[in-house]
Amino acid sequence: MLGMSLSSLLLPLLATDLDPLGILVGLVISTWFLLRIFLEIPAGIISDRVGRRKFFLIGVGLSVLDPFLWA
């Protein structure tokens, strides 16, 4: 939940910093929410089969590596 709240706060700030068209900002935010909705169900089923700990560790690892990959 923290990740979702954090990105909801940062998307408008990034949108004004990048200065795109308003419709593009809306499309990016809508697409992000729709993808999150449709990926939560399969992710829950897979995590029940594989185990939540592995997914948690993968998510934390990707969160740590993400700034280095985009820098």
Residue found by looking up tokens 């308003």 in the block: 22
**How many whole angstroms separate alpha carbon 33 and alpha carbon 44?**
17
Domain boundaries, the chain: 2-70
pLDDT of residue 1: 46
- CA distances in angstroms from 16 to 20, 57, 60, 69, listed in the order given: 7, 33, 28, 23
Report the predicted TM-score, pTM, of the whole model to 2 decimal places. Answer: 0.47
- Cα dihedral: 49, 50, 52, 57 (round 10): -160
**pLDDT, tens digit, 9 for 90 and up, residues 1-32:** 455 566 666 766 766 666 667 677 777 778 87
**pLDDT, tens digit, 9 for 90 and up, residues 37-53:** 888 888 888 888 888 88
